[in-house]
Amino acid sequence: MSTPFYQINSQEAYDKAYQNSTQNPEMFWESIAETFKWKKRWTQVLESDFIKPDVKWFVNGELNITENCIDRHLENQGNKTAIIWEPNNPNDEVRSYSYAELAKEVNKFSNILKENGITKGDRVCIYLPMIPEAAFAMLACARVGAIHSVVFAGFSAKALSDRIIDAEAKMVITSDGLVRGTKKLLLRNIVADAVQNCPSIQTVLTVKHTGDNVNTNHLDVWYHEAYEKASEAFEAETMNSEDELFILYTSGSTGKPKGVVHTTGGYMVYADYSFRNVFQYEGDDVFWCTADVGWITGHSYIVYGPLLAGSTCVMFEGIPTYPEPDRFWQVVEKHKVNQFYTAPTAIRALMACGDHHADKYEMDSLKVIGSVGEPINEEAWNWYNEKIGRGKAALVDTWWQTETGGIMISNLGKIGIHKATHAGLPLPGIQPVLLTAEGKLIEENNQEGLLAVKFPWPSMIRTTWGDHERCRQVYFSAFENHYFTGDGAKRDENGLYRIIGRVDDVINVSGHRLGTAEVENAINEHPQVIESAVVGYPHDIKGQGIYAYVICSETARKDDAMRKEMEAIVSDVIGRIAKPDKIQFVTGLPKTRSGKIMRRILRKIADGTSDSLGDVSTLLDPSVVDSIIEGKV
């Protein structure tokens, strides 16, 4: 079989594919879509309106994505390993599933969903640790036509219940407990708190994992009990190309997380295409992405992309520092990982623990090492490249977002110019632009601007669940006929993109995306808090840390005990990931005469550059600035 032209394995192939993809995008994507298993072919490749927005790919096509992730591989590679599960504790047993075994697990799971009343279009919330059942659950939802909404199992009961309510989920799938490093969480008990206020929930399906005693009630079905009785055959539901595949909640600049909606056909095509090309996956390579399935990276590059491509994929339950800060490298050696994909925050944390942890291991299987989630600073890039890649593996810095569904800007393995802190060129099919704040196109290189995309791509966001206007307003109203990313970027003399970071009120803490308003709302729940303002500041390990300025009532104690109380509330309302790193008690906040908080000033104070504040005379009360600078923590 000749290599399809989109299997891009040289600079020339890239140039040619890029040119094809812009000259005739529909032909380009159609030829890729043709490599999948469809139940009915599309009548039109693309229908697009970036104003409403209303974008449809492979219009009227019918398929089930799980037939592409599983069934179509059975004939030629049923015995190939699909998933290698590496447990939290290195002494526990590794679990592996071939494609044939995966088929059996997903079919059984699909039957369990069906027997418990889940049908096409229903929403199912998944709140699970990193265990194979998380992947089976997602695929089973897709197989029965239900829309999954995975919620990261680090979010609190309150955050979970908000997401269940917004999606009106009928079922939540969880486990008794979760272990990460030495920490344990009883997920079923958190779910019990969450579903008290969720009338839509009819069933809590619980996987036995840690064996802990947990509270159950009339809603409970134990997975292992249902499993015994479930049949191993299940006919995949027929889905329209534009039927919703999943909802994934992510933070924006308002207090309420939004449910990003991805649909079936386009997401499938792009997840597979981007996976194969960015990681240059081939043959029996072993791929490992360390993300959690609760984030988009886990959706696209642990579950859908790798399985669509028929790859062998490692799934890891634990954390990089347990039992020792060499765990990643030990696992790379153990499973002879060929492509490794992780986040800058993990790289920085491990770098800080010393080179000897990495030096101990062979790791000569590595061909491509990837970075995702936030800008990777030069020092971390160099360390990753030298200590892990060892001048042999190609480092890919992949820029994308929950909303884009797949990697948008990145080198493709060895192809491209590998330059520290630069993501590189767009994938063929992706047309990014830099705009000025006024929306003027910046055509020259060596310029900085706002990053937007001017042409639709198959895995782009379709809507925000239950609130299409929000989707229009956030992503499609800033610049006419463009998707706006919310990021600022710079293009160098060779056209390589360097992502600078968010230009909105979103902060990126250890690769986790949080809205400043969300954190403020949580802090404000403390009865003695009058007002708060949260900004991000540079943090050595986390990328950004959370700095909170808080005005408390006069009678409140302004001490560490009070700080702890506020932290506890944030953990309750959102989750531990959102706990402020620094809390400063202030008596006032810098506001304009119209009452708007000048976050620019607060950011400068937090990052220690308050000597360049600029003009503060337009503030309602300029004197608060000096007192805030004095009290900096």
Binding residues vs ligand WT7 (CB under 6 A): 250, 295-297, 372-375, 397-402, 423, 485-487, 499, 501-502, 508, 513
Q: In terms of CB distance, is 129 or 511 closer to ligand WT7?
A: 511
Nearer to ligand WT7, 237 or 505 (CB): 505
β-pairing, 543-552 vs 529-539, is antiparallel
Identify which of 259, 500, 268 has the alpha carbon closest to the alpha carbon of residue 377. 500
Closest C-alpha to 420, from 383, 450, 457, 367: 383
Q: Which is nearer to ligand WT7, 323 or 501 (CB)?
A: 501
CB of 239 within 8 A of CB of 433?
Answer: no
Per the listing, tokens 């591989």 go with: 73
Q: At what angle do helices 25-33 and 11-23 cross, to 10 degrees?
A: 110
Q: Rank residues 138 and 186 by Cβ distance to ligand WT7 and give the closer one.
A: 138
Which residue sits closest to ligand WT7, CB atoms considered?
Answer: 402
| Nearest-approach distance from CB 518 to ligand WT7, in angstroms | 13
Closest approach, Cβ 593 to ligand WT7, in A, equals 32
SS3 142: helix
**Residue count (the chain):** 633
In the chain the first and final C-alpha atoms are separated, in Å, by 63
3-state SS of 241-257? CCCEEEEEEECCCCCCC
Compute the CA torsion angle 308, 262, 155, 472 (nearest 10 deg).
150
Report the C-alpha gap between 64 and 136 in whole angstroms. 15
- Minimum CB–partner distance for residue 544 and ligand WT7 (Å): 10
Strand blocks (E) in 39-128: 44-49, 54-59, 62-63, 81-86, 95-98, 123-126
β-strands 44-49, 54-59: how paired? antiparallel
Residue 422 C-beta: closest distance to ligand WT7, Å: 9
As measured in angstroms, the least distance from the Cβ of 526 to ligand WT7 is 27
Strand partners, 54: 49
> Please, which residue, 61 or 536, has the CB nearer to ligand WT7?
536
Measured from the CB atom, is 99 or 295 closer to ligand WT7? 295
Amino acid at 581: D
Least distance to ligand WT7, CB of residue 83, Å: 21
Decide whether 362 or 378 has the Cβ nearer to ligand WT7. Answer: 378
Report the 10 Å Cβ neighbour count for 91: 6
Who contacts 65 (Cβ-Cβ below 8 Å, separation ≥6)? Answer: 142, 239, 245, 264, 267, 268, 304, 308
Map 267-282 to HEC letters: HHHHHHHHHHHHHCCC
Smallest distance from the beta carbon of 126 to ligand WT7, in angstroms? 18
Q: How far is the CB of 295 from ligand WT7 (least distance, A)?
A: 6
Nearest CB to ligand WT7, comparing residues 325 and 373: 373
* Minimum CB–partner distance for residue 252 and ligand WT7 (Å): 10
Instruction: Name the residue nearer to ligand WT7 (CB basis): 189 or 485.
Output: 485
